[in-house]
Chains A and B, each alone.
Chain A
Amino acid sequence: MLELFSNITEIQWQQPIMWAIGGILIYLAIKKEMEPSLLLPLGFGTILVNLPLSGAITQGDEVGALDVLFNAGIANELFPLLLFIGIGAMIDFGPLLSNPKLMIFGAAAQFGIFFTLSMAVLFGFDLHDAASISIIGAADGPTSIFVAQFLKSSYLGAIMVAAYSYMALVPIIQPPVIKLVTTKKERLIRMPYKQNEVSKATKILFPIIITIITGIVSPKSVSLIGFLMFGNLIRECGVLESLSHTAQNVLANLVTIFLGFTISTSMVGTEFLKPTTLLILALGLVAFVFDTIGGVVFAKILNLFLRNKINPMIGAAGISAFPMSARVVHKLGLKEDNQNFLLMHTIGVNVSGQIASVIAGGLIISLVI
């Protein structure tokens, strides 16, 4: 009988804490509906890998199933790229193509990434780890995983938890930051929306051209942007309805299940429970805050030169958390003036943030390698 429970003596102090962290992730996923498709598998996986002598991860010569999955899909960056096909198939670039100048805000709102890179180095991380941490500011899980894994960061678990948690916390993080850097008068600026028709040819050529331009400038980002745009091409071509539907649903869901579950191999207590994890979470928040500030301040600078003023709040939607950030800014606009409808502008900016964050991911890799 005693032999049955002999494993209890193998429990290390970090493991019960990690069970609690896993439980919190599952709670947040179910009760608060915070990125449930990722946080629930991650939470359960965290418990799984932190059981004493867990067979799910490699113990000595016995290879664990989760490590097999990790080597098959994360170590070679395959899972995040496959997920990008699904995400690309989900995105309608129509609002962006209808008003292309909005893309500039997507670029400005990546400031937090590069600012956090410098901050992470200041706090003692080496350049590759700093770059991996900074990409939390891409507000895009697959990009964060891709870059962190490409740069062989040892903080993948903390980076993923930060990236997905802050994406879910955008409605809490962004409003106070936006209010801090805008005046009430600026928040009341109305922006009439004019719907421009976009041809099918433009929608089809857009993903191809983006891939070529980005690939030439930043070859490291070819797979990132290429898979995203391939998904979008499937959606827009009009002759692959079934594949588009599969990419948006079956493929995205399947990869998401494995992605969250597999990443939990980076949540082993002895590695995760370190002061650096808290520092990474703090730096991730810095990235999100300065992304928001970057987008808003850029819009304010543009307003110095524009006759028809832009509501600077739309700049904040340039972070990639889609479509949450667009909705947050739209709601903020309505709160200030219940006739101020910014949604179509913020959606365009938000979609551009999706592209810009992927470009930023590729640039970060090119710059630090």
Chain B
Amino acid sequence: MNFNGFLETLPLMGKGMLGIFIVTGVIILCVYALNAIFSPKNKKNGKDGEDK
């Protein structure tokens, strides 16, 4: 049993989970932005507006 080694890896666990949440958070924000910019509803509204 390498208890000291185990303790040394705990910061890696923290960094890994933090890293994955940060990357995921950024991706989520990007997807929301994409959905807002390229929303099919926006396009339809735009076309409706043009028709009027």
**Chain A: residues with CB nearer than 8 A to chain B?**
96-97, 100-101, 103-104, 106-108, 110-111, 113-115, 117-119, 121-124, 127, 130, 196-199, 201-202, 205-206, 209-210, 213-214, 217-218, 352, 355-356, 359-360, 363-364, 367-368
Contact = CB atoms under 8 A, between A and B. Distances in A.
Given A108-B21, A202-B34, 16 more contacts: A100-B28, A103-B28, A104-B24, A107-B17, A107-B21, A107-B23, A110-B16, A117-B9, A122-B3, A196-B35, A197-B40, A209-B30, A210-B27, A352-B24, A359-B20, A367-B12
Given A197-B40, A198-B35, A218 B23 contact: yes
Contacts of A364: 16
7 contacts: A111-B17, A115-B13, A117-B9, A122-B1, A199-B35, A199-B43, A360-B20
A162 B48 CA distance: 56
Contacts of B19: 217-218, 363, 367
Given A197-B40, A201-B38, A363 B20 contact: yes
Contacts of A217: 19, 22-23
Given A122-B3, A213-B26, A367-B12, A356 B31 contact: no
Interface in B28-51: 28, 30-32, 34-35, 37-41, 43
**10 closest Cβ pairs, A-B complex:** A100-B31, A122-B6, A199-B38, A107-B24, A201-B38, A114-B13, A118-B9, A121-B5, A114-B16, A202-B34
Contacts of A113: 16
Nearest to B44: A197
Contacts, number: 118
A214 B30 CA distance: 12
Contacts of A355: 27
Contacts of B15: 367
A32 B19 CA distance: 38
B17 to A, nearest CB: 6
A113 B13 CA distance: 9
Interface size, B (range): 20 to 34
Nearest to B35: A202
Contacts of B2: 121-124
Nearest to A122: B6
A50 B34 CA distance: 53
A202 B2 CA distance: 48
B5 A356 contact: no
Given A117-B9, A130-B9, A199-B39, A106 B16 contact: no
